[in-house]
Chains A and B, each alone.
Chain A
Amino acid sequence: MIEPFGSLVAPFVEFGFMRRALAGCLALSVSAPPVGVFLTLRRMSLMSDAMSHAILPGAAAGFLVAGLSLPAMTLGGLVAGLAVALLAGAVTRTTVVREDANLAAFYLISLAGGVLLVSLRGSQIDLMHFLFGSVLALDDAALWLLGGISTLTLVALAVIYRPLVMECVDPLFLRTVSRSGGPVHLAFLALVVVNLVGGFQALGTLLAVGLMLLPAVAARFWARDLGGLIPVSIVIAALSSVSGLSLSYRFDLPSGPAIVLAAGALYLASMLAGPRDGLLRRLVRSRHLAA
């Protein structure tokens, strides 16, 4: 039993950059999955995908101004993502077009702008950095950023938890008892953006969504209520981070995709073996209860 455990731990014991990568990924594993749980429950899973693309032009603009500078690219990504989220939210609240359609419109504009910006000045290598991240090269600033995002997300979710749940279940009721519906919705969108920006540091824009959504979807096969879904999704994300990183080290794979593939494998395993509506559970039809 010691040998596989040892090979799982060894790279983290041996190399500082692996420990940094692990710390960064674990920080993200604590904050992104709870946001993903709310996204899936609101049937907005694909919204995070759209948002991850919307971040690109901002990060690209930061890159054009300051080169491969973490603060500039993060700030740019935040501004672009929040702008798209707020614009889509505002347009949705004032017109009849639904939010998903508005998001699609704005993110396409944003993404096209981003690709244009990157290709104007950058090389292929820069583009790969945007898309697949650099989890094995996290410096102090990046770790602080990920830790800060994680802390902010958990505090913010605790503060808006009840109105956010009500906004999902019965937004009309929330509007009749409180004015918090609009601000809470926007705060939630901001959390999505902030976590995607954090994820884009570690995993790249394309895969940032993976750590947000896959654990959240997988958790649906293990838990029924929010009190179970959120912790389960965090555990699954943390497991994906650890196993993805050590696999990427062992077999010399790119670490971002390895982490998301690990999360994907855990999702498939949950779908098969999860106690709540997992496929195996369905095959073995359990006797029904008396009442």
Chain B
Amino acid sequence: MSAGLRRPDPIRLVGLTLGYDRHPAIHHLDGTVRAGDLLALVGPNGAGKSTLLKGMVGEIRCLDGRIERAGPIAYMPQADEIDRSFPLSVMDLAGMGLWRRDGAWRSLGRRRRLIEAALAAVGLDGFEARPIGTLSGGQFRRALFARLILQDCPVLLLDEPFTGIDARTVDDLLALLRTWHAEGRTVVAALHDLGQVRDHFPTTLLLAREPVAWGPTGRVLTPENLARARNLSEAWDDSAPICAGPHASGAPAHDHGGHGVDAHHHHEDAA
């Protein structure tokens, strides 16, 4: 693919450090999510997958470095971040995906067919009037996917979209991801099932607070890389010194002497 034809990269990470209370949850990450990528975010609990996605969508501020975004991004949080006790119908929840198009006041009545089609696409036909509180975990997930369909966004970030979902639903939703990929959309998903990642995701970023490897899935999910990701400390050291790494200059990744991590981030082109 020649550079001239390429669409702009939707997300570029430059010397990115994200975290809470000055403690980094993501440390010195450089890399580019390319247009049309189907990228899996993999790593142990506390590796910073959710943090990275929230940073990409602009939800948390960078401690250091920056995130360059081109265009709108749709984001699907983990299911427990949404208040499901609120008396809202499935129709209304999914219909909110049309917000960018219809804003706060225009009637969703005219879009009824569109919303019903999106719900049918995720296997929720007939659920339009159900309150979201009565849905099972998997059905609620499907409703969120219907909202994503309606958002019709070129870039989609999904935080553990398949956690706690039965196999059939996962298959349906993976098919949806493949459709999006085929349409040239960029999809980034945080996942735990490595088999799923190997089968369906061409590129992978293996995280363990620091990037362990980023590239074609086959070359990233090696036993050595996985072992290294596991060994990286999840500890939160209150007396940690101020990081001596480079600051937001976009400088090439550096070697943290004491961390024992290969900081050359293996960012290979997947194409």
Contact = CB atoms under 8 A, between A and B. Distances in A.
Contacts of B99: 166, 177-178
A75 B1 CA distance: 66
B74 A168 contact: no
A176 B93 CA distance: 15
Given A178-B104, A180-B104, A225-B88, A172 B96 contact: no
A180 B93 CA distance: 18
9 contacts: A165-B88, A166-B96, A170-B96, A173-B77, A173-B82, A176-B74, A225-B87, A225-B88, A226-B87
Contacts of B75: 172-173, 176
A170 B103 CA distance: 16
B77 A172 contact: yes
Interface in A108-165: 159-163, 165
B81 A172 contact: yes
A99 to B, nearest CB: 15
A159 B83 CA distance: 22
Contacts, number: 61
A170 B151 CA distance: 15
Contacts of A159: 104-105
B131 A169 contact: no
A226 B73 CA distance: 30
A159 B105 CA distance: 7
B118 to A, nearest CB: 15
Interface of A: 41, 159-163, 165-166, 168-170, 172-173, 175-178, 180, 224-226, 229
Interface string B58-86: 11000000000000011101000111001
Contact of A225 (B73, B74, B89, B147): B89
A224 B82 contact: no
A159 B103 CA distance: 11
B170 interface: no
Interface string B177-199: 00000000000000000000000
A168 B104 contact: no
Interface residues of B toward A: which range? 20 to 34
Contact of B131 (A161, A162, A168, A224): A224
B100 interface: yes
Contact of B87 (A41, A175, A176): A41
Nearest to B132: A169
Contacts of B59: 172, 175-176
A169 B104 contact: no
Nearest to B92: A165
A159 B104 CA distance: 8
Contacts of A229: 87
A156 B77 CA distance: 30
Contacts of B83: 168-170
B57 interface: yes
A180 B96 CA distance: 14
Contacts of A172: 59, 75, 77, 81
Contacts of A178: 99, 103-104
B131 A225 contact: yes
B119 to A, nearest CB: 17
Given A173-B96, A178-B99, A225-B87, 11 more contacts: A41-B87, A160-B104, A162-B105, A165-B88, A173-B82, A176-B74, A176-B75, A177-B151, A225-B88, A225-B89, A225-B131
